[in-house]
């Protein structure tokens, strides 16, 4: 993981660049959860230190607001943005309609490689349509 990805997680960047052109996606479901955990841990430590510093233990509930506004809500926004991008990606590529496509990481399950608009791991040879029947 490089420094730019760490900054993206901590600075609440929501994939402003067009990541469909990249072979590896910048934002995945895992990176959103990881960012939420890191930001929550940092906020918990900082809020406990702040509460201890000002010596007001009755304001412990303030840390809940910090976690919601600076960790959980931005993660929710990132997840919504990610779902919109995945829906666009699924409509514009062959891999999006394949049953081996994993949308949580924009990944081909057979070849275990990331999919992009310009790169299809199987080149269409292993493509199988999504099953639209109930229960499958």
pLDDT tens figures, 55-72: 777 777 877 888 888 889
107 touches 31 (CB < 8 A): no
Q: Which two tokens stand for residue 120?
A: 């299809």
**Helix-strand-coil percent breakdown of the chain, rounded to 5?**
55, 5, 40
Q: What is the pLDDT at residue 12?
A: 59
In a domain, 49, yes or no: yes
Q: Let me know if residue 112 belongs to a domain.
A: no
Which residue segment(s) compose the domain that 68 sits in? 3-82
**Coil vs helix vs strand at 129:** strand
- The pLDDT tens digits of the residues spanning 67-105 come to 888 889 988 988 998 899 889 888 888 888 888 888 888
| High-pLDDT (> 70) share of the chain, % | 79
CB–CB of 60/51 below 8 Å? yes
Mean pLDDT of the chain: 80
88 occurs within a structural domain = no
Which comes out higher in pLDDT, residue 22 or 3? Answer: 3
Ramachandran area for residue 65 (φ above 0: left; ψ -120 to 50: alpha; else beta): alpha
In a domain, 71, yes or no: yes
Residue at 115 is within a domain: no
Domain contains 54: yes
Whether 8 has a pLDDT exceeding 70, the answer reads: no
User: pLDDT-derived band of residue 114, with 50, 70 and 90 as boundaries?
Assistant: confident
Residue 44 included in any domain:
yes
Task: Report pLDDT for 21.
Answer: 54
- Asked if 62 and 54 count as a contact pair (C-beta separation under 8 A), the reply is no
Q: Is the pLDDT of residue 16 over 50?
A: no
Phi-psi region of 51 (alpha: psi -120 to 50; beta: other; left: phi over 0): alpha
Residue 118 pLDDT greater than 50, yes or no: yes
DSSP 74: H
Tell whether 38 is covered by a domain. yes
Number of structural domains in the chain: 1
More confident residue, 31 or 72: 72
């Amino acid at each position: 993981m490089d420094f730019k990805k760490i900054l993206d997680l901590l600075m609440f960047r929501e994939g402003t660049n067009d990541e469909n052109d990249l072979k590896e996606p910048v934002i995945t479901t895992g990176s959103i959860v990881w960012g939420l955990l890191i930001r929550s841990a940092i906020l918990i430590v900082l809020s406990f230190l702040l509460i201890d510093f000002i010596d007001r233990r009755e304001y412990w509930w303030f840390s809940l607001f910090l976690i919601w506004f600076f960790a959980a809500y931005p993660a929710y926004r990132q997840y919504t943005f990610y779902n919109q991008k995945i829906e666009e990606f699924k409509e514009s590529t062959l891999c999006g309609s394949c049953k081996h496509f994993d949308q949580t990481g924009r990944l081909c399950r057979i070849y275990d490689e990331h999919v992009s608009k310009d790169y299809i791991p199987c080149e269409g040879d292993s493509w199988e349509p999504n099953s639209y029947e109930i229960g499958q």
